[in-house]
Structure formats: structure tokens, C-alpha cells
Amino acid sequence: MSVTYEVDDGVAWVTIDRPEARNALSKDVRDGLWECTHRFNADDSAAVLVLTGAGEKAFCAGGDLKEMAETSLEIPPPDFLPQFGRNVEVAKPTIAAVNGVAFAGGFLLAQQCDLVIAAEHARFAVSEVKVGRGSPWAAPLAWLVPPRVAMEILLTGDPVDAARAQEVGLVNRVVPAAELRDRAQELARSIVGNAPLSVRAAKATVLLSRPRVYEEAEEIWAPVYRSADAQEGPAAFRDKRTPVWTGR
């Protein structure tokens, strides 16, 4: 299985288990994430979900660019992968335990979780500008971090380390890699022990202020997804060469 699901003392651990490909979002992984999300929603034995990746290098490196090149993917369909609070509602709290790089779609997965705890070596990047792809899903980023920080993340595509991510508010806690599982479990258990109706209402209250701007962002990014550059980026990655941008 590319994604595993286990419940540990009221905490559902969902693990992307494709470390040989830096836990990239292949179709099997995306299908597994959908299955585990629905399972968690229906699982009365689990009060909190923790999402993480297998191995020590990557939480999730984003989309599978080789697969994208083979399928000539343009605009991802609305159900391409679960985006908590956007295309699937998850009333119970979610935590991202980021054990390595969280790039592109991996950044998306961490961003959509309610809390983020990161290993010291974790890095975050919205790297779409480096491969000519789109990131309409990043529309709420300026709600999470200051607008100028969001602008730098989106325009450069350069990684942000865990310490900086915590400094700007993208990450709640940074811990030694060896302690990540235990510290994430501890954080989740501090929520599990609280009154469930109060917890869900608290989450919903915070999210009242979250902007709902996805439709406008999708309109902005649609021409990018349909461009020749959007095909050139994944193809260059597949062929292990520098992309040649045409701006078309």
C-alpha cells in the first residue's frame, strides 16, 4: 500500500509510504489519501488525524512529475487529491508531522492541516514556478503567514527551513527528527483528551476567518496549467535537463 492507516490511542496516523520516490503524489498515493481521509471521517475510534511520510528525507515532494509528463496533465481535476476544507470537509482536527521536504503538493498537504509540527531538517516550498505548474491551492497562504512572506515563497519557489517556517507562523513546533513521532502523538493526545464537541467548534471558529478565494485563484492559474511551459517543466524533470521556458 502506498498510504497506510493506523490508530494509536485515539490518533489516526496516515503515512505516505513511498520513500523511494520521496513520497511523491502518484495516483496510488492520491487514491490512498482519499481512502484514508474518508476512513478517518467515519472512524469513531480516532479523534485526531496525523499525516506524515515514510523515511527521513521527505514528507511529500509533491506531484509525480514523471507521471505528469506521461499523462500530459493540464488542470488537475477537483478531486485530484484530498484538500482538507476545500474539496473534503474534515471536522476533526488534523496535524501534519513533517519529517523532511514538503514541496509543492506536499506543501499543500501540510498547509491544509490545522497544526504543523516539523522535524528540524524539514523544508517547505511552493516550487511550482520552477516547473511551470500552478498553485491556486496556495490562495489562503497569506492568511497563514504575512503577505510579503507569502509573496516570496510563491515568486521564488525557494525552500524555507523549519526554523524560518516556525518564525513566520507556518509551523507550530520544531523538534528533533528522532522525537517527531512522539511529540506529534503527544500534541494529538492533548487534543484527544478534550471535549469533542468543543474541539470541533473551536476548529470551525478559527476557520471562519479563512478566505474562500479558490475559484478566483483557479481562474488566474488556468492559462498557466494549459501553457506549453506547464508541459515543458515535467518533461525537463523526466529527461533530467534544464527547462526551456517560452512564456507560452
The stretch 156-181 carries a mean pLDDT of 98
Label residue 3 left, alpha or beta by phi (over 0 means left) and psi (-120 to 50 means alpha): beta
Q: What is the rounded CA–CA span in Å between residue 147 and residue 113?
A: 20
> At residue 218, does pLDDT exceed 90?
no
Percent pLDDT > 70 in the chain is 99
For residues 143-154, give the mean pLDDT. Answer: 97
Q: Mean pLDDT, to the nearest integer, of 175-188?
A: 98
123-125 β-sheet, strand order? 58-60, 101-103, 123-125, 160-161
| Whether the predicted pLDDT of 57 surpasses 80 | yes
| Interacting residues of 24 by C-beta distance below 8 A, sequence separation 6+ | 18, 60, 61, 62, 63, 64, 65
Cα 147 from chain centroid?
19
State yes or no: pLDDT of 85 exceeds 90: yes
User: Residues 153-160: what's their mean pLDDT?
Assistant: 97
More confident residue, 37 or 239: 37
Residue among 4, 7, 45 nearest 23 (CA):
4
Percent over 90 (pLDDT), the chain: 79
Position 64 scores a pLDDT of 80
78 confidence band (pLDDT: 50, 70, 90): confident
pTM of the model: 0.92
For helices 214-225 and 228-239, the axis angle rounded to 10 degrees is 70
pLDDT digits (tens, 9 = 90+) for 89-119: 999 999 999 999 999 999 999 999 999 999 9
Least confident of 61-65, 152-156, 238-242: 61-65
Of the candidates 171, 119, 175, 183, which has an alpha carbon nearest to the alpha carbon of residue 144?
171
Q: For 185-202, what is each residue's pLDDT tens digit?
A: 999 999 999 999 999 999
pLDDT confidence tier of residue 238, bands split at 50, 70 and 90:
confident
Q: Rounded to the nearest 5 degrees, what angle is found at the Cα of 27, between the Cα atoms of 218 and 177?
A: 90
Could you tell me which residue, 196 or 221, shows the higher pLDDT? 196
Tell me what pLDDT residue 4 has: 98
DSSP-derived 3-state class of residue 210:
coil
Average pLDDT, the chain: 94
* Residue 233 near residue 62, CB atoms below 8 Å: no
Higher pLDDT, 236 or 92: 92
Residue with cell 474518508: 38
Structural domain spans, the chain: 3-178
Q: Which CATH superfamily is domain 3-178 in?
A: 2-enoyl-CoA Hydratase; Chain A, domain 1 (3.90.226.10)
By residue count, the chain amounts to: 248
The three cell numbers of residue 116 are 504543523
Contact call for residues 109 and 36 (beta carbons, < 8 A): no
Query: Is the model's pLDDT at 160 over the cut of 90?
Result: yes
- Determine the pLDDT at residue 134: 87
Distance CA 54, CA 49 (A): 16
